[in-house]
Amino acid sequence: MFVDEITIKVKGGDGGPGALSFHREKYLPKGGPDGGDGGKGGDVYVVGDENLETLNFYHSKKKLVAESGSQGQGNRKSGRDGADLYIRVPLGTCVYNADTGKFLGEILSPSDKLLVAKGGKGGRGNSNFLSNRYRAPQVAEKGEPGEEVRITLVLKSITDVAIIGLPNSGKSTLLSLLTNAKPKIAEYPFTTTEPVFGVFDTGLRLVRLVEIPAIIEGSHRGSGLGNKFLKHAERARVLLLLFEKEEDLDIIKTELSLYNDNLLKKDIITFHKDDIYSESRLETLKDRITDIFDSLKLSVPLSLEEERLSIEMEPLSIEKIGETFYVSSKDLAKDLRRIDFTQRDHHLLLNPLIKRYGLLDALRRNGAKEGDRVIIEGIPFVMLEGRIKYEF
Ligand SMILES: Nc1nc2c(ncn2[C@@H]2O[C@H](COP(=O)(O)OP(=O)(O)OP(=O)(O)O)[C@@H](O)[C@H]2O)c(=O)[nH]1
Ligand SMILES: [Mg+2]
């Protein structure tokens, strides 16, 4: 079984209800309202797991629900938040809304995390509703239900080279000669019925190869095994087309373009079935693959992860007015708002933020030095050696 496409229902946890309660103490007969808020329901996320290769785990799952928030308590005690639910998927998984078809995002690295269903807010407890008019409010808010969504997960495996050919064209044989994979090799057609992955070592890097189950004339109409496995070729850089007769290549290329025109824009290597059994031809092929992937090393300075991170983080904008440096960043401002600067040990929260945003380096690049005044989104700081100190 190789599940690479699945639709499941997911639901965020419900918010817990707020409490309706009044303060009770022995000699205080008329205590005020003290009902706490309900906890928030857990969110549902899709996250990457580099150790997974398929979506098989979700095959038998119909609905996945995050934990609900618990009820608020008397004494203004809030309910506990429900735990978030993580749907772990192999890298390369695309996520769609199953009802609208809308593309929600894709998981390409283990740090990718996609929110698919929000947990509901907790209800407000009656202590929130105290006013001069209502000294003893008999009201508490219910929790908000968690969001419910049907999502479709489609795995488009992350590979470098896709081996494509008609039945019995030697795909499995070639994969077994180039990589550590041990696919079944046999005389009959359609021996390979699901994608098989293997790794080829150039000496500098690992190249991931995949054997796509055989393509035949009419695959796009569902003949043979159909063309659905071509999605595992979509992210490949190189297509390795195996053939016996020149006409085979025409059939393959026609089927590729009927699946997705962009496939033919990739680097294409054609290789004759008989050459698989020629040691020198095989060596030439290995050299060609090595050349393609080792040269990439020079042109790709950022890892995928760094690149994505730098896109996602809004850049800091720094402006010097007089002797003061003004920093603005919506993201940083939001994080700073969670800190109470009157607390003695607030630096335990502040310092990691400064580091995460690379604030010291950014300030230095803009000419700031120790002792300079820095205002971040309206909050005053002084730059010191290796840190930034809150100073009102
Ligand atoms: N010319 C030649 N053919 C061979 C040799 N060894 C095996 N074969 C044949 O090459 C074919 C290769 O089979 P596979 O590697 O399983 O082919 P495949 O493309 O993976 O086939 P499917 O998975 O069924 O689509 C078989 O028909 C074998 O009989 C050999 O030494 N020389
Ligand atoms: Mg095979």
User: In this structure, is residue 309 part of a structural domain?
Assistant: no
Residue 37 sits in the same domain as residue 98: yes
Distance in angstroms (rounded) separating the CA atoms of residues 318 and 286: 51
At residue 301, the pLDDT reads 40
Q: Answer whether 167 contacts ligand 1 (Cβ < 6 A).
A: yes
Q: What does the angle CA 227 – CA 231 – CA 233 come to, to the nearest 5 degrees?
A: 105
Per the structure, the complete domain to which residue 329 belongs is given by 314-390
Q: Give the closest ligand to the alpha carbon of residue 164.
A: 1
Same domain for 8 and 127, yes or no, is yes
Is the same domain home to 192 and 146?
no
60 and 183 together in one domain: no
Whether residue 103 has pLDDT greater than 90: yes
Ligand 1 atom with least separation from CA of 176 = 15
Q: How confident is the model at residue 392 (pLDDT cuts 50, 70, 90)?
A: confident
For residues 79 and 111, state if they share a domain: yes
Closest among 78, 103, 105, 101 to 89, alpha carbons compared = 105
Whether the pTM exceeds 0.85: the reply is: no
Total domain count for the chain?
3
In this structure, are 113 and 172 located in the same domain?
A: no
CA of 171 to the centre of ligand 2 (A): 5
Give me ligand 2 centre to Cα 294, in Å: 27
Q: Do 182 and 52 fall within a single domain?
A: no
Query: Would the CB of 176 count as within 6 Å of ligand 1?
Result: no
CATH number of the domain that residue 376 is part of: 3.30.300.350
| Ligand having the closest approach to the CA of 243 | 1
Range picked from 142-156, 305-319, 336-350 for highest mean pLDDT? 142-156
pLDDT in tens, 246-293: 999 999 999 999 999 999 999 999 999 999 999 999 999 999 999 998
Domain identity same for 119 and 168:
no
pLDDT above 70 (res 304): no
In-domain check, residue 304: no
Nearest to 8 by CA among 69, 92, 90, 99: 99
Same domain membership, residue 2 and residue 75: yes
48-65 pLDDT per residue, tens: 999 999 999 999 888 999
pLDDT 10s digits, 237-246:
999 999 999 9
Query: Which carries the bigger pLDDT value, residue 81 or residue 301?
Result: 81
C-alpha of residue 178 to centroid of ligand 2, in Å? 14
Q: Is the CB of residue 277 below 6 angstroms from any atom belonging to ligand 1?
A: yes
**In terms of domains, do 89 and 138 share one?**
yes
